[in-house]
Amino acid sequence: MAAMFPEAVERVAMICAGACLEEKDLAEGLFPVAGVGEAAALLVPRRPEEVRRLVRLTFVRPPLIMPSCFLWDYIKVSYSVSA
């Protein structure tokens, strides 16, 4: 997101960001994504289905119900830039 809105970012700290992700790791099935591009897209969801997938992969016990209206609000807030 920092790359998408550089004017709104002064500094970035990446913690547990999969910086050591390599193609061989993907090939060996160590990550539940098909490639680096999919992993990057997963971290910046644009549709409710993508937020649901991110939550399922992130939480041990994800919520059973996530209404799309709330997820759309989350997406809109994530992409808004406050001045």
Tokens of 51: 């937020």
Rg (CA), the chain: 15
Give a yes or no: residue 41 inside a domain: yes
User: For the whole model, what pTM was predicted?
Assistant: 0.59
Give a yes or no: residue 20 inside a domain: yes
Q: What is the mean pLDDT of the chain?
A: 81
Contact (Cβ atoms closer than 8 angstroms) between residue 29 and residue 48: no
Domain residues for the domain of 18 are: 6-79
Local structure of 63: helix, strand or coil: coil
Nearest to 25 by CA among 10, 40, 35, 13: 35
Q: Is residue 21 very low, low, confident or very high in pLDDT (cuts 50, 70, 90)?
A: low
Name the domain count of the chain: 1
Q: How far apart are CA 18 and CA 22, in angstroms?
A: 9
| Across 4-22, average pLDDT | 75
